[in-house]
Structures are given as structure tokens and as C-alpha cells.
Amino acid sequence: MKKGLIITLPQSDDVTEYLAVFSKPIINECKKRSINFHELKKEKANKTEFESSIKSYDYNFIILNGHGEENRVTGHQNKTIIKKRRK
């Protein structure tokens, strides 16, 4: 696993737009410290892109911005990015 982060930034409504703005200092700090990062912005904040990014980048930190519930987090247009498996 490599040092770096993946961050989702759906920006499909007011709440996720605010989250994207509040996440800018995180991105700026990564740039300042030369930490690798991969952003999944707007429509790229979806399950397919997220899973592909995890496999491709193998970074050690993930930030999931979006809506959610106890068992899932959503991305662009409230589509599920990740869901807890049932036992």
C-alpha cells in the first residue's frame, strides 16, 4: 500500500458542493507535502470509478464525501458508492 489518498467529491447538490469546498484544504495540504492523491469529482464520484481507483492507486487513506446512512455512502446523484455487507 502506497502513501496517498483517494477523495470523493460528488458536487451534485448544495451539501456535497459544500463538502467539496471544505475539502480544498486537504487537497492543498497534499500538494504542499507532496502526498499523492486522486480526486473523484462530480460524475466520477461513482461506484465503478471508486472501485477502479482503489485497485489502481492502492493508497492508504480514503475520504468519502457524500450522503449516506448507517450501511452505505452515496456519491454523484445519491448513487451508492460503497455499502456494508450483510452477515
Please report where in the chains the cell 480544498 appears, as a residue. 24
The total of structural domains in the chain comes to 1
Q: Enter the pTM of the model.
A: 0.90
Q: Are 76 and 45 in contact (CB under 8 A)?
A: yes
pLDDT tens digits along 56-71: 998 999 999 999 999 9
Give me the CATH number covering residue 29. Answer: 3.40.50
Cβ atoms 9, 41 nearer than 8 A:
yes
| pLDDT over threshold 80, residue 87 | no
C-beta neighbour count of 7 within 10 angstroms: 23
**Which is it for strands 59-64 and 72-74: parallel, antiparallel or unpaired?**
unpaired
Residue 46's domain spans which residues? Answer: 2-83
Q: What is the pLDDT of residues 30-61, one digit of tens each?
A: 999 999 999 999 999 999 999 999 999 989 99
